[in-house]
Amino acid sequence: MALLSAVALLSQGSGEQGDASGSARASTPREPSANTARAASGSPTGQGGAEQPQEKAPRFSKTICWQDLERFNESVTLGTFRDWAGPLLASKDPHVLAYLKERLAELIGEDEGRALEVLGWAREASPAEFKLLLAGVRGAPALLKPRVVEQLMTLGLDEKLDLGRRAGFLDGLQKLPRLEPAQLERLSHFAKDAASGEAGWVTTRAIGRVMKQDFERTGNIKPYLDKLLAIGTESLDEPVRYLALEMEMHADAPLDTQTTARLAQVLTTEGSGDVRQVAAHDLSLAQDKAQVLDIYARAFATERDLCVRWALFRFSARAAGKDALPVMANMALADPRFQGDYQDFERLYASGIVDYDRIWFSLPSQDPHGCLDHHDG
């Protein structure tokens, strides 16, 4: 793939630059090695009579020359990648960046040792290089090797690193086909930590995405649901709680009575209306329809937030279909603002439509109460 990308870039570049590329090379001063550039924090290179160190590797101009890219593609190795890629990365050309990511992934391949070496570089890399190195590891088959997974977790949970860098390492976990129980425990414990910040949010998302893949392949979901529910009820960070409960619905898996009961508690104990809304959405996946309709009815009676009430109302239909109409009628009696909504649902069910998505998109408005800034129904 990287070779194809390079060929495409070269074809494009040859038409765009022509003879100008040669004059650009001639007028551009030689660049220091990537290590020197990093140490100097991007300071300009002197053009006087300073001694130039001997370089075995070809030099590449920050002004991208397609001939340079061709030489890079043909000759680069993992050992020379950082020094050679530095000037190309500095161009900030998105096509070149995409090529570098693919080429690095090819160089790593299935080699566990190479992936670990690149992760070692990433620990101290500049922000732009860090993103490139992590993308290369994530795109390589070696990502799934046990030692690589363990190193990603170790770096992501390393308190000596800043949270932004830790988030980058933890983000690489989302492509895993499964998480072992011990790994899931470590990650969920970190995500619940009040100090985890952005990294905790990224970790929660990774757990949810791995859960979806594992469930689709094997049907295994309960360990993930339990941990996400724990994060969704115990984290002190509202965006993390919201995301944890939101990820549960992405798997679209039926909820057993125990999980249903735990989510019901969120409706009465959670302080954020947004989080209560997403809990109501989750509950629509409950296996026991009578149980969840009772939960919705009791929560509606004590809820004062209009948007949460709207969630309880409409997700009653999502949970139980036409059988929810008596509960929805009582809700509309208790809160006249929902009488028109009830009549719309009643009319559509009477017309013979039973699929909730068809019902939803047949409504006169999907946002009659101005509540759908964060939710799609």
Q: How many distinct structural domains can be found in the chain? A: 3
Q: Do 301 and 328 lie in a common domain? A: yes
Give the per-residue pLDDT at 66.
62
Q: Containing H/E element for 363? A: none
The reply to whether 299 falls in a domain is yes
Is there a single domain that holds both residue 264 and residue 353?
Answer: yes
Say if 361 falls within a structural domain. yes
Same domain, 213 and 272: no
End-to-end CA distance of the chain: 40
Asked whether 133 and 30 are in contact (CB, 8 A), the reply is: no
pLDDT of 154 reads 96
Which of residues 90, 115, 140 is at a domain's end? Answer: 140
Please work out, in degrees rounded to the nearest 5, the angle formed at the alpha carbon of residue 277 by the alpha carbons of 272 and 281. Answer: 145
On whether residue 252 sits in a domain, the answer given is: no
Residues 90 and 204 in one domain: no
- Domain extent for 96: 1-15+58-140
What pLDDT was estimated at residue 73? 85
Task: Classify residue 39: in a domain, yes or no.
Answer: no
127 in a structural domain: yes
Whether the Cβ atoms of residue 127 and residue 100 lie closer than 8 Å to each other: no
| 212 and 283 share one domain | no
In a domain, 285, yes or no: yes
* Backbone angles phi and psi of 323, in degrees to 5: -65, -15
pLDDT at 56: 52
Same domain, 162 and 271: no
What local confidence, expressed as pLDDT, does residue 67 receive?
67
Together in a domain, 6 and 65 = yes
Q: What is the mean pLDDT of each run of 10 residues along the chain (377 residues)?
A: 49 43 34 38 40 49 62 87 88 89 95 97 94 96 96 95 94 94 96 92 96 94 94 95 93 91 95 96 96 98 97 97 98 97 97 96 95 63
In the block, residue with structure tokens 């791995």: 210
Same domain, 107 and 154: no
Q: Which two tokens stand for residue 52?
A: 């130039």
Instruction: Please say which residue of 86, 107, 140 terminates a domain.
Output: 140
Task: State how far Cα 286 lies from the chain centre.
Answer: 26
In a domain, 342, yes or no: yes
- Domain boundary at 75, 107, 140, which? 140
Residues 1 and 112 in one domain: yes
Same domain, 218 and 298: no
pLDDT value at position 301?
A: 97
Q: What is the pLDDT of residue 372?
A: 82
Q: Is 158 in the same domain as 107?
A: no
Considering the entire predicted model, what is its pTM?
0.78
Task: Tell whether 99 and 188 lie within a shared domain.
Answer: no
CA 2 from chain centre, in angstroms, equals 24
Angle at 140 between CA 137 and CA 142, to 5 degrees: 90
The answer to whether 81 touches 22, Cβ cutoff 8 Å, is: no
Q: 271-283: b or e for each residue (b if 16 or more CB lie within 10 Å)?
A: ebbbbbbbbbbbb
